[in-house]
Amino acid sequence: MNKQTAYGLTIETREDQTAMTHDFDGRDMLNRRTDQLHALLVSISGAGGESFHNMADALKDDLIWLAVDLSAEVRLLARTTTSAQEKTDNITPLTIKAAYNRNETAVVIDNQRHSPQAR
């Protein structure tokens, strides 16, 4: 097992599995990911779309999958932070892990596993 931490992010690797843990409040992470997704989509559409369309197909594909992955994470964070708000007036920080292996990507939020649909 290899474990490294920097800037509130811990990455652990074991055999063919990698887990990332962010040390942020769930709502803060939701806001951060929403802003990142918006910036990405602005850069590949409208005025930014011209440079996007001039990119190599592999790079365009990677950017689209980045948007898909970010949107899946935003959906899960939105569901989790909304249900957490409904249960209590106090916002409890969430433990968020994104696990990637050869066959699956999953996000674990407060020990509940959520798997976005396969690509």
User: Is 82 a member of any domain?
Assistant: yes
Please answer whether residues 116 and 72 qualify as being in contact, where contact means their C-beta atoms are separated by less than 8 angstroms.
yes
Kindly report the CA angle at 15 between 70 and 93, in degrees rounded to 5? 40
Amino acid at 99: A
Q: Which residues contact 36 (CB under 8 A, 6 or more apart)?
A: 70
CA angle at 35 for the pair 109 and 20, rounded to the nearest 5°: 35
Would residue 119 count as lying in a domain?
A: no
Q: Among all chains, which residue has been given the structure tokens 């948007």? A: 67
How many distinct structural domains can be found in the chain? 1
pLDDT in tens, the chain (119 residues): 799 988 788 889 988 888 888 777 888 888 989 999 999 988 888 877 888 888 899 998 898 889 888 888 898 888 888 765 555 445 455 454 544 444 554 555 555 555 544 43
pLDDT number for residue 35: 92
75 lies in some domain: yes
- CA distances 43 to 1, 37, 66, 94, Å, are 37, 10, 13, 30
| Domain membership of residue 46 as a residue range | 2-114
Identify whether 98 is part of a domain: yes
Please answer whether residues 93 and 25 qualify as being in contact, where contact means their C-beta atoms are separated by less than 8 angstroms.
yes
